[in-house]
């Protein structure tokens, strides 16, 4: 290539002078610089200085910075692959000792506390009793905000609902065959969900079997029990803790002759009637909130002790609130 250029310009190689520079020291030999030799590692050959035959251009004649645009990829494809940049020098990472790692490692944040159930401070415990024709077949204390009264837990209507399961017992021990058959039929379509929330107790009928509810003193009313029907898939409040607190306060202060009413009855498949007592019902469920039972017994004990020595005191003001009852009850339970 160089020979062709010299011929076109009519320049003789002798006109260029000696091939070796005049400043070369004695014993200088061309192509003996080890820096220009290929590196044993092929990937490092791209870091060698420019070839010796590249012509030097004075700084005054070099184009200004930015005069050249980016290389055309098409051109790069024709001229071959462009050597990549030099690999960065290897740096040895500093490894901290176990003691230093403990000093500089941030402490893990503690897990968030569990979310408390929305019961407004009232510990949700129900005493559940199940009667068939006035005979007690099952009784248990149920803790938790929700519970399910079911006969067949695998029923799709109740299987995926949250809450503690309370199973209706089998009616096989009922003496009367006809009553046993009717009870079994009602149980097959019975399902109820209970939930304590916002200082109330709610009930929701889940299946076909009708459910009626009433407080114990309502069943003794002169005009007969109210027709309180639970509609299917509709949440209904059946007990209010605020009303209980008012009745308990009036009872303690002598402003109410009857005791506070906190016993709830549920009748499955039959309505309450004045002519027939509740003990005659095929399926009867009694619910007693343990919170209310505790405070009623405390008030009775306080009244009985005041007649003797007066040593027992509930430490309740005459105008106590539900919040005061909740606070003291939780302290006693803990």
User: For residue 290, what pLDDT is reported?
Assistant: 96
From residue 192, how far is each of 41, 197, 225, 293 by CA, in Å?
81, 16, 21, 23
* Cα–Cα distances in angstroms (integers) from residue 130 to residues 171, 203, 250, 263, in the given order: 11, 16, 31, 13
Do residues 128 and 141 touch, judged by C-beta distance below 8 A? yes
- Which helix (H) or strand (E) segment holds residue 3: the answer is helix 2-8
Residue-range domain boundaries for the chain? 125-290
Mean pLDDT for 2-12 is 59
pLDDT for res 302: 81
* pLDDT (0 to 100) of residue 5: 53
How far apart CA 312 and CA 253 sit, in angstroms, is 16
The whole model's pTM is what? 0.63
- For 226, list phi and psi in degrees, rounded to 5: -70, 150
Q: Residue 37 CA to chain centroid, in angstroms?
A: 67
Q: Lowest mean pLDDT of 84-93, 98-107, 171-180, 288-297, name the range.
A: 98-107
Contact (Cβ atoms closer than 8 angstroms) between residue 157 and residue 174: no
Q: Do residues 167 and 158 make contact, with C-beta atoms less than 8 angstroms apart?
A: no
- pLDDT (tens digit per residue) in 240-270: 999 999 999 999 988 989 999 999 999 999 9
Angle between helices 241-252 and 290-308 (to 10 degrees): 10
- CATH topology for 125-290 is Tumour Suppressor Smad4 (2.60.200)
DSSP class of 122:
-
């Amino acid at each position: 290539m160089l020979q062709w250029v010299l011929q076109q310009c009519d320049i003789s190689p002798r006109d260029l002078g000696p091939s070796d520079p005049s400043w070369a020291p004695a014993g200088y030999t061309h192509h003996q610089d080890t820096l220009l030799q290929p590196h044993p590692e092929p990937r490092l050959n791209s870091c060698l200085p420019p070839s010796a035959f590249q012509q030097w251009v004075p700084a005054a004649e070099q184009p200004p910075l930015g005069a050249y645009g980016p290389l055309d990829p098409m051109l790069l494809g024709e001229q071959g692959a462009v050597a990549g940049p030099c690999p960065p020098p290897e740096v040895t990472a500093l490894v901290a000792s176990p003691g230093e790692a403990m000093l500089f490692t941030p402490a893990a944040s503690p897990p968030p506390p569990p979310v408390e159930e929305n019961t407004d401070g009232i510990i949700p415990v129900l005493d559940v009793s199940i009667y068939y024709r006035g005979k007690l077949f099952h009784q248990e204390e149920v803790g938790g905000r929700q519970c399910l009264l079911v006969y067949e837990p695998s029923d799709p209507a109740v299987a995926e609902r949250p809450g503690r399961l309370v199973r209706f017992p089998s009616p096989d021990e009922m003496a009367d065959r006809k009553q046993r058959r009717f009870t079994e039929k009602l149980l097959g379509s019975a399902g109820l969900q209970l939930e304590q929330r916002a200082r109330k107790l709610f009930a929701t009928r889940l299946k076909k079997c009708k459910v009626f509810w009433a407080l114990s003193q309502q069943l003794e009313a002169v005009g007969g029990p109210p027709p309180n029907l639970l509609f299917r898939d509709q949440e209904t409040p059946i007990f209010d803790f605020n009303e209980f607190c008012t009745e308990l306060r009036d009872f303690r202060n002598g402003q109410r002759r009857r005791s506070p009413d906190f016993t709830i009855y549920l009748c499955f498949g039959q309505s309450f009637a004045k002519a027939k007592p509740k003990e005659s019902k095929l399926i009867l469920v009694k619910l007693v909130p343990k919170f209310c039972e505790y405070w009623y017994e405390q008030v009775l004990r306080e009244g009985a002790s005041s007649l003797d020595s007066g040593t027992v005191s509930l430490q309740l003001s005459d105008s106590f609130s539900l919040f005061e009852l909740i606070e003291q009850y939780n302290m006693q339970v803990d």
